[in-house]
Homo-oligomer: A and B are copies of this chain.
Amino acid sequence: MSHIYAGVDLGGTSFIAVVANRKGKVLGSSGGPTTPKAKAEETIEQIADHIREAAKEASVKMSKIRAIGIGAAGAVDPERGVVVRAPNLGWSNVPLARNLRKRLGPDVVLGNDVQVAIIGEHSYGAAKGTRRAVGIWIGTGIGGGLIVDGRIDRGFRGAAGEIGHMVVKEDGPECSCGRRGCVEALASRSAMERDVRAARNSAVLTIMKERGKDRMTSSVIERALEADDRVMKDVLARAQHYLGLLTANVVNMFDPEMIVIGGGVAQRLKEKFVTPIAEVARSRFLRPDPKHSIRIEHATLGDYSGALGACALAEMNS
């Protein structure tokens, strides 16, 4: 049997499918936006089409693909292969794995998008070879995942890694979870957008308008920083401060060999995003780490963290 896998990163607004070998080399890829308000059946057919397209580009027959992995945004049940709830897709209890297998043939394995991206970075990217690492993923929300003994560690109930809802500033701003002071409410891309909008005198809104964006995307953030926008710089620095606190809390509790920081903003700004976070964190390590034996780095697989992680997930489970 060949060792070729397909992986899909199914986000709230777009997806990417890749076909890759077991070394994480992308042989073919295909992706695009999801269709808003499409029925689940239609979106699943789109996913199938993108996998077929990626296989075609890779010159690999579907029958040669050993297994398919999917990382999906939202609450998933990996055991049953069901997307329990994906608000951005409007999905509720969609048996994605079974439906996709019926269409394409190979076994389908499902995981949470952030955990799958961290599996990707651990298998092929920044955290390759680490035995004990923590991934911190910053996007609309903040998610995370633990690597213990060289494997993803899901915890007792499969709920490990929810570091976005660590309270670091009691009485801080309200969070999407209904509580206050979670780091997600202080340092996610959405939290930064909220703070930029509240400041009013920022170039960000103009840049968004120019680019036809209704959200403060990573590319908008980058452009505003290039334009030396004071509000953007202050808001980013504040978010980095809280991400530094989070990183220190995680290191003091869990003592990993590496923190890998991923998601859209990290991918776009790289060291500019991660270096200030690392500085705040290191100043707060309870056991000092003067030689930087603990690495704090950005993800390196770019757009492919999730899709390649899905390939690695498929390999692990086949």
Contact = CB atoms under 8 A, between A and B. Distances in A.
A95 to B, nearest CB: 21
Interface string A240-254: 000001001110111
Contact of A255 (B156, B171, B177): B156
Interface string A104-127: 000000000000000000000000
Contacts of A294: 156-157
A155 B286 contact: no
Interface in A237-296: 245, 248-250, 252-257, 284, 286-287, 289, 293-294
A226 interface: no
Interface in A159-181: 159-163, 165-172, 177, 179
Number of copies: 2
B245 A170 contact: yes
- Range, interface on chain A: 35 or more
B162 A286 contact: yes
A158 B255 contact: yes
Nearest to A246: B167
A162 B284 CA distance: 12
A154 interface: yes
